[in-house]
Amino acid sequence: MKEKVLITGITGFLGSHLADYIIEKKFNVELFGIKRWHLSNLKNIKHIINKIKFYDCDITDPTGTREMINKINPNTIFHLASESFVSPSWSHPTRYMNVNYNGTLNILDALKEKKSKAIIHIPGSGEEYGEIYKQELPITPNTVLRPVNPYAVSKVAQDLIGYVYFKSYGINVIRTRAFNHEGPRRDKVFGIPWYAYQIALIENNLQKPLLRVGYIDDKRNFTHIRDMVEAYWLSTRKCEPGELYLIGTELSEGNVYTFRQALEKLISMSTVKNIKYKTVKDFTRPTNVPRLIPKTDKFRKKTNWKAKISFEKILIDTLEYWREKVRQNDHI
């Protein structure tokens, strides 16, 4: 019998790449995804749309979520549906809590009511750690959380309610906190895609050779999306419910850079010379997270996972994606 795998957020950046991974590996699964009737944009999965069974559902609706879980009866859930862009969370904190916390709670309640033995992966974010001091690096699962934006608060709440349902009701919750993952299909509202998108516009004479950027001296570790979705899959095969695992590349592996370094590397890859950049206040946040660098040995020991794709490849793939989007006039 085939394993029933449900991906919430399957039309998004992470969800579409995870669907690609599952299909490419030819796992013995029946793949389900949810979409919001006419609201979901299916462009990220149009090449595999006939290999996914869809169910119309908005996870913020508890009745619809319960019906969806009862009908699909999944064995494994990758709960990737979320509000994930940090900047708007200051203006829309209730929206972020409604989707990220209440949406998760609706799924957990549906599993509890059904007495389901399904494994549910609830992915967190390195943003949850927030204000990290230099002496606290590298970040571990026990590092103190000091979230500094509403998005991070919503993800902390999401993680903790998952843990509560594991402890209280035996729901098989896999808890991870992933650090920066990048690559094709990531929306241009985020840093690296935003730089790549503007470079593609400049190369097509659609923008002057000046990039508008936000604060660019925050330091991050970067993982290619293809490596990250492999890690997510392995988390549901190898990790212990209730335990917390950090996922990302480590300082020793050379994928730790500032956004300024990423920006300058992308500029050096352009066919246009002498591109400049300037910081624009509209692209800065009320608070920054200067450094997010994890220690991921707990996850690696469990899964034998290790990122394989270089930082340069992350940048090349992102730039080529946006070049193609601009060439096809599919970028607005």
Tens of pLDDT, residues 182-204: 999 999 999 999 999 999 999 99
Q: Among 111, 27, 97, which residue's Cα sits nearest to residue 69?
A: 111
Q: What are phi and psi of 11, to 5 degrees?
A: -85, -5
Joined together, the tokens standing for residue 260 give 């300024």
What pLDDT score was predicted for residue 2?
A: 97
pLDDT per residue over 260-270, tens digit each? 999 999 999 99
Q: How many angstroms separate the Cα of 296 from the Cα of each of 67, 126, 147?
A: 37, 12, 20
Kindly tell me if the per-residue pLDDT of 284 is higher than 90.
no
Per the rule left: phi > 0, alpha: psi between -120 and 50, beta: everything else, 203 is alpha
pLDDT more than 70, % of the chain? 99
What pLDDT score was predicted for residue 301?
A: 97
What pLDDT score was predicted for residue 277?
A: 98
pTM: 0.97
What is the rounded average pLDDT for all residues in the chain? 96
Superfamily of domain 3-181+223-251: NAD(P)-binding Rossmann-like Domain (3.40.50.720)
Task: Map out the domains of the chain as residue ranges.
Answer: 3-181+223-251, 184-220+254-292+310-327
pLDDT per residue over 145-179, tens digit each? 999 999 999 999 999 999 999 999 999 999 999 99
Architecture in CATH of 184-220+254-292+310-327: Alpha-Beta Complex (3.90)
Joined together, the tokens standing for residue 146 give 């000091």
